[in-house]
Amino acid sequence: MHVIAFLVSTTLMYSAPLTFTALGGVVSENGGVVNIGMEGLMFFGAFVAAAGAYYTGNPYIGFMMAGIAGGLLSMLHGLACITFKANNIISGISLNFIGPGLTLFLSRLLFEGSTYTPPLGASKMPSPLSGFFPAGSFFDILLGTQYTTTFLAYLMVPVIWFLIYRTRLGLRIRSVGEYPRAADTVGIKVFRVQYFAVAAGGVLAGLGGASISIAISSVFNPTLISGQGFIALAAIVFGKWKPHGALGACLIFGSATALGIVMGWPQIQAVLPIPSQFLAMLPFIASMIILASFVGKSIAPTSVGVPYEKD
C-alpha cells in the first residue's frame, strides 16, 4: 500500500508544474494565439521564483514574482504575434531562447557568476499537511508530503474551467479563438482579449516553473526544466484544449515520471535492471505515443495561430 501511496503522491507532485503550464497554454490558444515558448517561460519563472524566495526569505513572494515575470515575458510574444502579426511558432521558439538566455544572464549577475541559486532551505515552499496525519501512514505519504503549489495547481483547473466556460470573459476568449472577425463585429476588442489570454498563459507557465524550483527541487539550476514545457504542450493537444482534459494528460505524464523513480529503486533494479537513461525518457516516450495516437482526433480552435487583420 505504501508503494501505491508513493506512486500516487509522486504523480501528483510532478504533474503540478505541467498542470500550471498546460492551463496557461489552454487559455492562450483558446484566445487564438499559439505559444510554444512554454519551456522558456517555465525556465524564467523557475529562476525568478528561486531568486525571489532566496532574497526575501518568503516562498510565496517568490511564487508571485514568477507569475509576474512569466506574464511580462509572454507579453513580448503577444507584441510580436498580435500587434506585428508575426508567425506564432517562430515567435514561440524565440521565447525558448530568450527565457534561458535572460535567466542565465541574471543568475550570473545576482549570484557572483553562478548559474545556480543557493539552496533555499527554510525559504522552500512548505507542505501544509505535513504532520497532520500519523507519520508513515498511507495518507501521510499521499498528502503530507505535498507542497502548497501542488494543491494550488489542481485548484486552478476548476478556476480556469469556470473562467473559460461560465464567464463573459471566457466566452469572449473562445469567440476570439474561433471567429475573431465575428467577435469584432459585435464589438469585442479582439486584440485586448488576445493580450489578456497571452499574459494569463505566461503567468501560469511562470507559476509552473516556480512550482519546480521552490518546491520540488528547492534550488534553481540550468537543467531544472529539461523539456517540461514541451510535455505541457503535448498535454494541451491531448486534452483537446480543455482544462480538465489537459489535467488528465498531465497526470499521465506525471505517472510516467513516478514510475521511472520507482523502477530506479535498488531493490527493483536488482530484479529488473533498467538503465537510468531509459527511465528518464519515460515521460517523453509517453508524450510521443499520446501525440501520435490522439493528435489527429483533437480539433484546435478554428483561428488559433492565425494573426487577425482588422479591416
Q: Is residue 117 part of a domain?
A: yes
Tell me how far apart the alpha carbons of residues 272 and 267 are, in angstroms, rounded to a whole number. 9
User: Is 179 inside any structural domain?
Assistant: yes
**Structural domain contains residue 306:** no
Residue pair 154/16 in contact by the 8 Å Cβ criterion: yes
Residue 127 forms part of a structural domain: yes
pTM (global) more than 0.75? yes
- Give me the number of domains the chain comprises: 1
Local confidence pLDDT in tens for the 311 residues of the chain: 678 889 999 999 999 999 999 999 999 999 999 999 999 999 999 999 999 999 999 999 999 999 999 999 999 999 999 999 999 999 999 999 999 999 999 999 999 999 999 999 889 999 999 989 888 888 998 899 999 999 999 999 999 999 999 999 999 999 999 999 999 999 999 999 999 999 999 999 999 999 999 999 999 999 999 899 999 999 999 899 999 999 999 999 999 899 888 888 888 788 788 887 788 888 888 878 877 776 566 788 999 999 998 77
Q: How confident is the model at residue 126, as a pLDDT?
A: 95
Measured between alpha carbons, how far is residue 206 from residues 53, 73, 75, 108, 241 in Å?
A: 14, 9, 13, 20, 19
pLDDT of residue 156: 98
Q: Which amino acid is at 130?
A: S
Query: For residue 303, is it within any domain?
Result: no
| Domain presence at residue 307 | no
Q: Please check whether residue 304 lies inside any domain of the structure.
A: no
Please give the distance of CA 96 from its chain centroid, rounded to a whole number: 14
Q: What is the CATH number of the domain that holds 191?
A: 1.10.3470
Whole-number pLDDT of residue 277: 79
Domain, as residue range, for 82: 2-297
> Is residue 311 domain-resident?
no
